[in-house]
Amino acid sequence: MARLSVVISAFNSEDKIKDCLESVKWADEIIFVDNSSTDKTLDITKKYTSKIFIKTNNKMLNINKNFGFSKATSDWILSLDSDERVTPSLRDEIKNKISNIKNDDVNGYWIPRKNIIFGKWMQHTGWYPDHQLRLFRNGRGRFKEKHVHEMIEVEGETAYLNNNIVHYNYDTIIQFLSKMANIYAPNEAEQMVAKGYVFSWRDAIRFPLGEFLSRFFAREGYRDGFHGLMLSILMAFYHFIVFANVWEMQKFNDPTDDKLLDEVGSELDKSHKQIRFWSSKERIKQIKNPFKKALSILIDKFRW
C-alpha cells in the first residue's frame, strides 16, 4: 500500500490551520514547516503532528516548501497551503489513485482548485478550475525558487484528478492589496527586469486594460456578478502596480515627450473601442434566439 505525506508550510495561520490539518489527518504523515510564526499556529499544529520544522520566514515561499518535501518519508507527497482544504471526495480519489496506479510513468497529478474569494466561489474570471500540480511521487517534484507563483515541476508524465482542493483565498480587500503590493508585484517586476524588459508607459496602460478585458469578458468574469467585476479591476490594478515597480527599479526614468497628452488620449480611445467590442461580443453570446443572434452579429459587423 502506497503511503502519503502531506507537506504544509505556513506563517501566522492560527485562524485557518486547524481546518487545514483536520482535512488531512487521515494521511500517513504530516510534515509541517513553520515560517517562524508569532501567533498560536504552532500550538494548534502540535495536536496533529510532531514532525515540525522551524524555518526563517522567506518571501520566496517555495524555498521552505522544498525543504518540507526533503523531510517527507512516504511514497507520495501532497503539497498544501494553510488556507486550503482537502475535501472527502478528493481524499478518496487520492487514496484510490496512489494505491491502484499501474502506470509507473505518471509521477504527478494536477488537482482543480475552488477559490473562495471575498466569501464566494469564483467559477469564472480565470479562477477556476485553476489546476495545481500538488500530488507527486517523492523525489520526483519540487518548486523552482525564482518566482513566488512557480508551479511544482515533476519529472515524467502527469495526469489530472477530478475532485477539488478548496482554497479560502482572499478574505478582505486589504489582504489582497497587501499581498499584491508587498509580495507578488515586486517579484513579478524583478523577473521582468532580469529578462531585460525596459519600462514603457504605454505598457502601463495596455497591460492592465488587457488583464481587465481578459478577466471580465474573455474569461466571463461577468458571470460571477459584482465579485467578477471587482476582481477583474483588482487584477488590472495588480498589473499596473507591477509596471509601477519596474518604473521605480529603473530609476523613475521619463520615457515620454511633449506629445504625451495626445498619445495618452489615443491610447485611451483605443481602450474604449476594445471595451465596446468585448462588451458587444459577450452580449451576443447571451442571446438564445438564433434569428436575433444572427441579426446582432450582422449589425456588429457593420459597426466594427
Tens digit of each residue's pLDDT, the chain (304 residues): 799 999 999 999 999 999 999 999 999 999 999 999 999 999 999 999 999 999 988 766 789 999 999 999 999 999 999 999 999 999 999 999 998 766 567 999 999 999 999 999 999 999 999 999 999 999 999 998 766 667 899 999 999 999 999 999 999 999 999 999 998 999 999 999 999 999 999 999 999 999 999 999 999 999 999 999 999 999 999 999 999 999 999 999 887 777 888 888 898 888 888 888 888 888 878 877 776 666 665 666 665 5
Give the pLDDT of residue 115: 98
Give the pLDDT of residue 296: 61
Residue ranges, CATH 3.90.550.10, the chain: 4-168
Give the pLDDT of residue 79: 98
- Look at strands 4-10 and 76-81 and give their pairing: parallel
Distance CA 161, CA 89 (A): 11
Domain 4-168: which CATH class? alpha beta
Can you tell me which residue has the cell 515597480?
Answer: 245
Distance CA 168, CA 27 (A): 21
Model-level pTM? 0.88
Give the pLDDT of residue 102: 64
